[in-house]
Structure 1
């Protein structure tokens, strides 16, 4: 992988990329497993409840990490060398202001506008300092927003600076509050539909996610014409390097699935099938996607259409059960919430039967053992009772019954030390 500009292709050594973000590491640190990550990425992973190494999925005996100073020196040397070949990296602030003025005044001269947008994108991608310079220039964000319908490069620039202080709020104001017109977001939808490379699609998704900062803006984004079908098509249609694109799309869907109508639309478009395949994927690389999928399943299970799709999918319940204790604590809670809601609250016998057949009782007991007092432990307690008793279509079944229901006549387990209630 690399970056190309003016015919020069700069290759980024894989050793310098964080296994989580895939960006060049700014502060490499090594876990006890020996794998090195960028500090901000691994801190976020550990702070969300994980106790495993993302690359190897080994349980960490300690969450401590140490700076990898040797690798940091190599990265710094490579940065110095490659920066000397990137003419935009050391541009003066005055030069940057000239570029922005040229972009603003380019009018119909699209090639000229694209050229200066490329300069700005290259400059923004070089350092945090450069990005702070850009967002500090009056009218910068407004100028780039005005060009998102003309060039994917404008989308890239906004994605690069969206993490800087105040930018998300400006984007929210410019794209939602001031316009009040969902057509203002259509260039981003077009990028998702028409861009040839996945990085442009990811950048458009991240901008949409960044402006979804409250329920009103989330509904605004969700109701943008054709956006939800386009997002689903990105999940269901094969493409190069899908994991990062899928992760970005799932994060946005979690954000905008705030109303029943949106959740029903997601179900109708086939999202449950994708989520089922994701939670059933046992590879280590699928863990982050599986966690986002469990969150979405917990949201979709709040509507009858979502519950019907989950119950009717041949692999979804088994995948949820399999993921218990193999994901972060929040994701485990999402998995328990789905099973509890469907088995205990809505008494879905089909789901309960599938859970039992996939050793759900043992796994729920293990989750309950690991939990302190709280809602998750209470849900696990009720879930164990429900799974052990068995359900008929509309009530409990006695031993030896058949038909719509099922029965756990005897339950033999080696986890006798676990007292469910």
Structure 2
């Protein structure tokens, strides 16, 4: 049946399976047979043979000869079938690459081929994964369809990622498999166990290569997959302690060079793994606070989400002694000034994160007060008390003002009969 017939006169019709090349899955234009009796489109089988293969792709039998015999009978049948559509209809048998969205039946057929010996060839794998990516991009229904696939499909994708990525084609396969996993987001625990089996060395190395060598979208997808598989204490440590993962991710938080979507994905991942105390210390040692300071102090437009996530990560790191030392000591407390500058300027969530950071620094540990006073923090905190922030945040703002030695009479207008709830 035609696809989107109500929107266009062009239609894509159902193709008899034996008219399709077993390699490309497109209607054959020049069908030729191998000595095994299996017929392929000439261009596809020639590519296979030119790649140094001496087997029949469908059966994996060794070829006694590589002669290609034209299948004239099948060619005539294809022509008759094509002409039978009638003069008023112009079906497209082989739409241009990248335009035809596969049907669910074709995707199932592609998945079956991917799990057979035919998929040992990188070109075939790339072709199949390209079709699957096109299918996923088309609709939420398609994404749900693949998400419900059995674990074998996810295992196969993880197997592709686990390959030694020594060639350009293998790297392309890794990036495509990563894109599919990021799109369908399979069961988190299942994917984590598959990728981190035996400490996940090969998979994490592949993700690291994707971050280093991939384009912007590939970097985002790789970071999001790392975030997705970091679901418990063990997985967070395995991912964070893999050599290079933290340093490469922190490099992506570059407010002048990186895309906001990439910065946001990187911050989300770092927030996820920072909940481990050991990882938090590693992040501080890797100078992530300096990167956050640059985001907070930038005069350029920064997205609300990036600012919120920056403050949320800083809130976690402020509970550590070395984190507070970095925030208050480096560059004369500019990071603390950056936090004060975001009070009431971004969103309610950003303000609440900022107040919590300042409360931890100044009220709990009596650090960073000079930077807060220097950046007119007292006045802003007085306004926070009058804002629609939560009761807990307003109380923290009052605590801060008292620490900053403001006359208690200035607080009389804001006194409330509330119970102070500790945020930690």
TM-score (norm 2): 0.66
Distance between the aligned counterparts of 1:135 and 1:339, measured in 2?
A: 43
Give, in angstroms, the shift of residue 284 of structure 1.
Answer: 4.3
Give the conservation status (yes or no) of the 8 Å contact 1:311–1:317.
yes
Distance 2:370 2:413 in 1: 22
Structure 1 vs Structure 2 CA RMSD:
2.7
> Contact between 1:344 and 1:382, CA under 8 Å: does it hold in 2?
yes
Q: Quote the offset at 1:89 in angstroms.
A: 4.8
Contact (CA 8 Å) 2:402, 2:408: kept in 1 or not? Answer: no
| 1:13-412 mapped onto 2 (5 Å cutoff) | 89-105=100-116, 106=118, 108-138=120-150, 139-148=152-161, 149=163, 150=170, 151=173, 152-162=175-185, 166-176=186-196, 178-195=197-214, 197-236=215-254, 239=257, 242-314=259-331, 315-348=334-367, 351-371=368-388, 374-388=391-405
CA displacement at 1:192 relative to structure 2: 0.8
Q: Contact 2:264–2:306 (CA<8 Å) still a contact in 1?
A: yes
1:218 to partner: Cα distance:
2.1
Contact 2:304 2:346 in 1 (8 A): yes
Q: Please give the alpha-carbon distance, in whole angstroms, between the structure 2 residues aligned to 1:388 and 1:420.
A: 17
Gap regions ≥5 residues in structure 1:
1-83, 390-409
C-alpha distance 366-221 of structure 1, shift in aligned 2 (>3 A):
same
Greater shift, 285-294 or 102-111, is seen at: 102-111
How big is the shift at 1:371? 4.9
Alpha-carbon distance in structure 2 between the residues aligned to 1:364 and 1:193:
42
Q: Which moved more, 1:279-288 or 1:143-152?
A: 279-288
Structure 1: distance between partners of 2:275 and 2:411 = 42
Structure-2 separation of matches of 1:85 and 1:326:
49
- Residues 143 and 233 from structure 1, CA distance in 2 versus in 1: closer, same or farther, beyond 3 angstroms? same
Higher relative contact order (CA 8 A, sep 6+): 1
Give the Cα separation in 2 of the matches to 1:116 and 1:222.
32
Greater CA drift, 229-238 or 242-251: 229-238
Query: Is 1:183–1:224's contact at 8 Å kept on the other side of the alignment?
Result: no
- The Cα offsets for residues 322-361 of structure 1, whole Å up to 9 and x where unpaired, read as 111123333222211111111111112xx21111111101
Larger radius of gyration: 2
Q: Does the Cα contact within 8 Å between 2:102 and 2:131 map onto a contact in 1? A: no
